[in-house]
Amino acid sequence: MKDIFVLIEHRRGEMRDVSVEMLCGAAKLGGTVVAVLLGKDVDAFAKKAAGYADKVLYVNDPLFENYNSEAYQKALSALVKEHGPGLVLIGNTAQGVDLAPALAVELGVPLVTDITALEMEGDKPKPTRTFYGGKLDAHFTMKDADLYILTVREATFTAEDPSKSGEIVKVDNPVTEDLSYRKFVEYVEPEVGEVDITQSTLLVGVGRGIREDKNMPVVEELAQALGADLAASRAVVDAGWLPADRQVGISGKTVKPKLYLAVGISGAFQHVTGMKGSEVIVAINKDPDAPIFGIADYGIVDDLFKVVPKLVEKIKELKGA
């Protein structure tokens, strides 16, 4: 089997977990695992990656101080052409999704994004991914090619302890062109609100099922009765019914309360990723197929507008007693 390239993702001095996960997953596929690291002053990441890879290809250049899809694409396509791997794994992250499709088009090789499981048939990947917000698994067969690119959803592979000591090979930056047509400016941190939901013990998470702004008191009363804070799925924040700092998920916050009571939340993986570490998860949703029931401890399949007011009553009774 030909080499497997794994793109190491890092940002602001941190190597992303998905990088180690992909290295560990790649090691199980057979073949030589090559960690590809583009960065500036990231020797520590090269050392870390070497613990999971047979080889680390490391480009140290100011061009890679911050992510730029054009710089990454040009460097990767040059390295791929030089070394001829059979498979390239890239995290299905804000970075990977920005990069991988353009890279695949440039190289003229097939790509499947956001994979959640992977089998190999010889050198050919047979990836699985989800459709319809996680309601179905879709199984794919890729076209015949010399190289395949996959973007891998976080937690698809399991990170294990380092067991290798790969050779670290520094290579010259293959990119010499002027890339000022796309230029990094700055990072901006999210605003800090009144409530820090990452510190909340009890959270009521509200999703699309609440339907309208004027229905928000339904969940506000529940939160009040419980002494919980309100958190939200992306849809509710997009609609402006709760501020952005209440958003839970990949593009929001990661929370680990004692109780996460998900009301009208379907459970798309982007949201689930941010709350699955909660001690007790309860879901109220009228759709019995909602993925949220797959990770909840307790569920009520019903109309939230019927259940939640009753639940508020019962909680008040219990507290009054």
Backbone angles phi, psi at 39, to 5 degrees: -175, -175
**Rounded CA separation 43/249 (Å):** 30
Contacts of another protein in 118-137 (CB under 8 A): 127, 129-137
- Is there binding between residue 188 and another protein (CB under 8 A)? yes
Hey, what are 294's tokens? 């797959």
Contacts of another protein in 209-248 (CB under 8 A): 209, 226, 234-235, 237-238, 240, 244-245, 247
The residue among 167 and 303 lying less far from another protein, judged by its C-beta, is 303
- Is there binding between residue 86 and another protein (CB under 8 A)? no
- Is there binding between residue 93 and another protein (CB under 8 A)? yes
**Rounded CA separation 157/122 (Å):** 20
**Rounded CA separation 275/198 (Å):** 10
- Is there binding between residue 278 and another protein (CB under 8 A)? no
The residue among 165 and 199 lying less far from another protein, judged by its C-beta, is 199
For residues 198 and 190, the answer to whether their CB atoms sit within 8 Å is no
Angle at 262 between CA 260 and CA 267, to 5 degrees: 110
- Residues 162-181 as x/- pattern, contact with another protein by CB under 8 A: -------------------x
**Rounded CA separation 287/233 (Å):** 17
**Rounded CA separation 91/163 (Å):** 22
The residue among 43 and 238 lying less far from another protein, judged by its C-beta, is 238
Residues β-bridged to residue 37: 58
Question: Whose CA is closest to 27, among 44, 48, 6, 10?
Answer: 6
The least CB distance from residue 167 to another protein, in Å, is 31
- Is there binding between residue 87 and another protein (CB under 8 A)? no
- Is there binding between residue 143 and another protein (CB under 8 A)? yes
Contacts of another protein in 292-321 (CB under 8 A): 293-303, 306-307, 310-311, 313-315, 317-319
Helix axes 94-107, 69-83, angle to 10 degrees: 50
- Is there binding between residue 160 and another protein (CB under 8 A)? no
**How many residues of this chain interact with another protein, rule: CB under 8 A?**
101
The least CB distance from residue 110 to another protein, in Å, is 4
- Is there binding between residue 40 and another protein (CB under 8 A)? no
- Is there binding between residue 67 and another protein (CB under 8 A)? yes
For residues 265 and 285, the answer to whether their CB atoms sit within 8 Å is yes
Q: Which of 112, 204, 218, 272 binds another protein (CB under 8 A)?
A: 112
Q: Which of 15, 57, 80, 113 binds another protein (CB under 8 A)?
A: 113
Q: How far is CA 54 from CA 147, 160, 165, 197, 269, in A?
A: 19, 15, 7, 41, 32
Amino acid at 124: K
Q: Which of 71, 99, 197, 218 binds another protein (CB under 8 A)?
A: 99
The residue among 66 and 173 lying less far from another protein, judged by its C-beta, is 66
Contact region with another protein (CB under 8 A), list: 36-44, 81-89, 98-106, 155-163: 98-106
